[in-house]
Structure 1
Amino acid sequence: MDRGTKSSLLAKPIGMSDKEWLDHLLGQQTAPQSRPAGMSDQEWLDHLLGQAQKADASNDATSAHASTEPQGGQSTAPLPEVGPSNDWLKAMLWPYRASYKQAVILSFGINILGLFAAIFSLQVYDRVVGHAAYSTLAALSIGMAIAIGMDHVFRAGRSLLLQRIGARIEVGIAHDVLQRMLNLPAGVLEKRGPGYWQAVYRDVEIVRTTCSGASALLLIDLPFMLLSLILIGFVALPLLPICLMTMACFAALAWRSGQVTRDATETEREVLVSRDTLLSELSATRMHLKAVGAADAIKSRWEEHYARWLNESVARSREADHYREVAHAMTTANSVITTSFGALAILSQYMTMGSLIATNILAGRLISPMVQLVSQWRSFGQFKAAKKRLDELFNQPLDRVESSLKLPRPSGVIRLEGVTFTYPGHTKAQLQPLSGEIGPHGLHAIVGHNGSGKTTLLKLIRGLYTPTQGRVLLDGADMHQYSQAELASHMGYLSQEVQLLAMSLRDNIALARPNASDDEIMRAAMRAQAHEFIIDLPDGYGTKVGQGGHRFSAGQAKRIAIAQSLLNDPPVMLLDEPTAELDRDSELRLIKVLKELAVDHTVVVVSHSPLLLSHCQGVLVLDKGKLVAAGPGAQILPKLGIQPATRPTPRHLEVAA
């Protein structure tokens, strides 16, 4: 067994930490490394994955170099490496090609050793029994004991090797899927609910199992069936056609089972996604459903989805069981036919009794992978469908991850040039052509009736949406020049629906910058009017938020989210209904903070609050996606029936005619 085989264990040893175990799974041969100071969890995982792949590639390069080393000690240039394909799965598997080669070599040894049982039976029945050759029997028995021991070692090594590959593949693909999900455009993310992403990770599991589990072992073992056929041709040539016909029948049965169960499996998956999506909705809205008395109605809906999934699952299982039963019957029939024709061949003196026994053993070795093929063919269909779905995900265009040139911190001038926006799949524009300039600095408001496009415009300014026509500029630079990470550091964004994660309050506030200092976190919480209620909690900033943040009121959750957006002190603040759930006292204090920020920040709010609007220096009024009015607050607010609380200031808002 080679060093790649020895380097992995299946179960985490007692006393080994999770990090040490992750290092072990990723193929680290040295002592566990410590994470460098300042490196995030994401960067550290990327580092570990990179090292794991380099280690495997290094093993392969070493073996390739050794194989090309000429005799006499003279070295030659190593053979050129073949680069990975653009296919994401091939690129993922490419660094592990050396490990797969080792698995094939071990499988060759296993299949060679598997022939020894047939040879042993042939020799015992034809030589030992007929001639009372005790010494021959002893020698054969010792040889078989050695073969059995070697077979066990080879199988254990191959299993460990493939499971190490499987662990690396799953970590790598799951890591890439998560990275893709986080970097997809907001419009794509909004169209896909939690059920879709749960299904995606089930697809990752299918790919991992196929590449390193029973399916991979089957694919490796199938070519070695030729060894058994060759040996049957030597010891029992009259029975070779029967074995070939049996293999053809099993191959046809496997193909047919895959065809029949494929559609049923896809339908079952679609129903499962629908069921999981409904379950996610029920979990997220359980208190609302209880409050409005919708338990009975939603129960009926759940039972309908569950019954559909159960029916599809039972139907698919019934089809699979049917083909497994047919395969079992064919196995028995093959044994009977082989024995019957073998007996006729013995009576005609074409074969010996030992040849018949050996052929039955070899036929069993031939049929075993074919029976597995019948049951595993559905898995290959699932793998093909799962890879196709993952292909769609990996082919999705992503937001810009890195900018070509790091631009300086913007002053906060937002310019719109003929911006229109239409949601994908819709023909009516959500926003009509809109041009203008906001900032630098000042407190500005976007107002309008529900559905007028206020939130859509805010998302366009933030760079979450891409304009259908026109463009958005920040300090004269097209928004597309910035990566999403840079936009997040330049623009604080508060969404209309606040979502807190199931971690501590401190971690939620420092979500985008986990290494933020305690002083920075408390300063952000104070400015968001959240510090007072946080320190009043028994665990303070260490208080666990819980699933969905339901232990806090809507107003408290809103203030935590505002603190999150204030942490990086961005030059632009985009707040969607920041005072919607706040009491009057908290609203007044938040308005004071926003006015202080507006001195050297550009603050844009979407709000219906007259109290907040009265302090805004610039106002944009939208109606059905059209800009109907814009200008200084002192001019626009009286038309809306709101008395301005501030005096006119120098230009902060300019709209194109």
Structure 2
Amino acid sequence: MVGIAVFSGVINILMLSGSLYMLQVYDRVIPSRNTATLLGLSLMVLFAYLVQGYFDALRTRMLCRVGTLFDAGLQQSIHTALATLPLRGAKPMLMQQPLRDLDQVRSFMSSMGPTAFLDMPWIPIFLVALFLFHPAIGMTALLGTAAIIAMTLLTERMSRGAAKAAMDSSAQRQVLADATQRNAEVIRALGMTDRFTARWSQANERYLRENIRATDVYANLGSGAKVLRYVLQSGMLGLGAYLVVADRASGGIMIASSIMMGRALAPVEIALGTWKQLVAARQGITRLRDICKATAAPPAPPVVLPRPCRELSVQELAVTAPGATKPIVSNISFSLKAGMGLALLGASASGKTTLSKALVGIWPSQNGVVRLDGAALDQWCNEDLGRYVGYLPQDVALFDGTVAENICRFDENASSDAILKAAQIAGVHDIILRLPDGYSTRIGEGGMSLSAGQRQRVGLARAVFGDPFLIVLDEPNANLDADGENALTRAIQILRLQGCIVIVISHRPSALAALNMALVLYDGKAIAFGPCGEIFARVRNATGQAATAREPAPARQPPPARPPAAAAADMKTARRAPIAESVEP
């Protein structure tokens, strides 16, 4: 930017050449009728114009590269913000705002807007030159410049609110458009197209209304500034003509002062023309500074910890959803040794998924701590912790790429052996081989070219890739058939034999057969923890007690035996045993 400012100084000095040329033509060439002098002056001003054009193009090219360097320098921070804001409970309209702000700032820095502000410090040079022509001309130019600057400040004040409202409505419109694209299948299948079209129309009309309001402010003030500049230039000619008639100035001064006045006010007019982009870029800079500061990655730990291999311990853990204050789970404490498998059980909304997100470091704890081999999760940097953790969410969340890329977590240095090992543990190797291009098959955004069961099994392979120590599976068999469930059970057994800790959330008993421990959640609290046999025995006892409490009088014939699932439903209705409510036997 310092170099660009220097070039701006050279350009502004060279811009005096046009006024000086006209001054010399009127004062020297015309009275003397000397064509040699005219030719010499013309060649000099032509050379000055060529040098000015070269430096002007060079300045514009440098500004474009400065904007690009600004973008490149922030790309890591911006991506960190995009990946962090959803975990902080940010509103949907704010999640994509950093990227829009970055584009806005880069576009402004690559435009003519910054050149106007680089040229403004040179306005006094033109004013001094006009004062040298004649004090009256200089004073007129000074008053005109002050009026233009006052109008610029008025534009800033009146456009601030309109620009912000237009930006907010644009963000809301973009959020609705993104939601429509993501859920196009549901919208079409459920006949909601017309309703979402109406919502889109309302958001778009609001955006257009705010945009018109902001544009009107810029148009009115910009046109007013342009009219004022025309008046000043014409007034300068009139004043110069009066001075010529009064024999107090020459004709060359009259013409040169008018040209120089227009040049002095040109940066202000350019600034007014790009004021909308300036306001948006300035607001974007402010938001980028705040967001990058709030989402900055924590400093790297001074010591790189080794791969955990002994235990997982949870101590008095309380977790809230991002942006909320009330804990979803609280006072959770348990520990697991290497090779153990935990069934995380509970009724819907009991906090199982919330606890699973805290165990792998997605949601930070409000109170308490999660430790691997005695070290809290925040003592690892995210990349290192990710290698030691495997996670399969309810929404598998595959990405556009090949099957192999999704399994290896898009690690360019992953070996084929590691990818094959993960696929074989997950029991998905043969399925992948039957795909059109095997491991090179592109699966599309979200894995759209795969079935739900295939997506879940590829997600399981991704979770076990790289021999992680802690593996958390949230409803891993929700879309699996009998063969898929058998493969899941086998995978859990293999992982436990390798010394991994496996935690499974499931409502289907087949996924729990390979686990030896169970934790029961009820209303966000742990009500039972221990070996699976003991926990399930307590569930059966609670089920029997609830059934006894519901039996009719002895004189009547007892009702026929009810299936376990129906008995569990009765227990939930009776609210007699929280454990029975949380686990279906």
TM-score, with normalisation over the residues of structure 2?
0.88
How far has the Cα of 1:399 moved from its partner?
5.0
- Are the equivalent residues in 2 in contact too, given 1:116–1:144 (CA < 8 A)? yes
How far has the Cα of 1:452 moved from its partner?
0.9
Q: Which runs of 4+ in 1 moved over 6 A?
A: none
- Are the equivalent residues in 1 in contact too, given 2:29–2:38 (CA < 8 A)? yes
- Are the equivalent residues in 2 in contact too, given 1:489–1:568 (CA < 8 A)? yes
Which whole-Å CA distance do the structure 2 matches of 1:175 and 1:399 have between them? 10
* More deviation, 619-628/215-224: 215-224
Which whole-Å CA distance do the structure 2 matches of 1:424 and 1:503 have between them? 30
Q: Which residue of 1 aligns with 2:316?
A: 418
1:368 to 2:269 alignment? no
Q: Which amino acid aligns with 2:280?
A: Q
Q: Which residue of 2 aligns with 1:34?
A: none
How far has the Cα of 1:360 moved from its partner?
0.7
Deviations 1:307-340 (A, max 9, x none): 1111111222222222222122212211221122
1:104 to 1:398, Cα distance in 2 relative to 1, 3 A = closer
1:608 to 2:525 alignment? no
How far has the Cα of 1:513 moved from its partner?
2.3
1:112 to 2:33 alignment? no
1:219 to 1:185, Cα distance in 2 relative to 1, 3 A = closer
Which residue of 502, 507, 519 corresponds with 2:417? 519
Matches within 5 A, 1:289-368: 289-368=187-266
Q: Which amino acid aligns with 1:417?
A: Q
Deviations 1:94-120 (A, max 9, x none): xxxxxx222222211111111011111
1:433 to 1:399, Cα distance in 2 relative to 1, 3 A = farther
Q: Which residue of 2 aligns with 1:141?
A: 42
Matches within 5 A, 1:224-623: 224-398=122-296, 400=298, 402-423=300-321, 425-599=323-497, 600-623=499-522
How far has the Cα of 1:568 moved from its partner?
0.7
SS at structure 1 position matched to 2:316: strand
Which whole-Å CA distance do the structure 1 matches of 2:151 and 2:276 have between them? 12
SS at structure 2 position matched to 1:598: helix
Identity of aligned residues (%): 28
How far has the Cα of 1:125 moved from its partner?
0.8
Deviations 1:37-95 (A, max 9, x none): xxxxxxxxxxxxxxxxxxxxxxxxxxxxxxxxxxxxxxxxxxxxxxxxxxxxxxxxxxx
Q: Which amino acid aligns with 2:137?
A: L
- Are the equivalent residues in 2 in contact too, given 1:460–1:466 (CA < 8 A)? yes
Q: Which amino acid aligns with 2:504?
A: V
- Are the equivalent residues in 1 in contact too, given 2:398–2:446 (CA < 8 A)? yes
How far has the Cα of 1:143 moved from its partner?
0.8
Q: Which residue of 1 aligns with 2:583?
A: none
SS at structure 2 position matched to 1:438: strand
SS at structure 2 position matched to 1:580: coil
Q: Which amino acid aligns with 1:268?
A: A
Q: Which residue of 2 aligns with 1:166?
A: 67
How far has the Cα of 1:414 moved from its partner?
1.0
SS at structure 2 position matched to 1:436: strand
How far has the Cα of 1:579 moved from its partner?
0.8
Aligned residues between the structures: 541
SS at structure 2 position matched to 1:616: coil
Q: Which amino acid aligns with 1:343?
A: A
Q: Which amino acid aligns with 1:615?
A: A
1:146 to 1:428, Cα distance in 2 relative to 1, 3 A = closer
Which whole-Å CA distance do the structure 2 matches of 1:275 and 1:110 have between them? 43
- Are the equivalent residues in 2 in contact too, given 1:411–1:475 (CA < 8 A)? yes
SS at structure 1 position matched to 2:488: helix
1:186 to 1:304, Cα distance in 2 relative to 1, 3 A = closer
SS at structure 1 position matched to 2:279: helix
1:208 to 1:185, Cα distance in 2 relative to 1, 3 A = closer
1:163 to 1:427, Cα distance in 2 relative to 1, 3 A = closer
Which whole-Å CA distance do the structure 1 matches of 2:296 and 2:50 have between them? 53
Q: Which residue of 2 aligns with 1:87?
A: none
How far has the Cα of 1:594 moved from its partner?
0.6
Q: Which residue of 1 aligns with 2:553?
A: none
Which whole-Å CA distance do the structure 2 matches of 1:545 and 1:401 have between them? 36
Q: Which residue of 2 aligns with 1:187?
A: 87
TM-score, with normalisation over the residues of structure 1?
0.79
Structure having the higher Rg: 2
1:399 to 1:343, Cα distance in 2 relative to 1, 3 A = closer
Q: Any unmatched runs of 5+ in structure 2?
A: 544-563, 565-585
Deviations 1:449-493 (A, max 9, x none): 111111111111112222211111111122221111121111111
Which whole-Å CA distance do the structure 2 matches of 1:295 and 1:264 have between them? 32
Q: Any unmatched runs of 5+ in structure 1?
A: 1-99, 644-657
How far has the Cα of 1:637 moved from its partner?
2.2
How far has the Cα of 1:507 moved from its partner?
1.4
Q: Which amino acid aligns with 1:159?
A: T
Deviations 1:531-564 (A, max 9, x none): 2222112211111121222222221111111111
How far has the Cα of 1:446 moved from its partner?
0.6
* More deviation, 114-123/519-528: 519-528
Which whole-Å CA distance do the structure 2 matches of 1:519 and 1:398 have between them? 36
Q: Which residue of 1 aligns with 2:561?
A: none
SS at structure 1 position matched to 2:370: strand
How far has the Cα of 1:589 moved from its partner?
1.5
Which whole-Å CA distance do the structure 1 matches of 2:94 and 2:323 have between them? 19
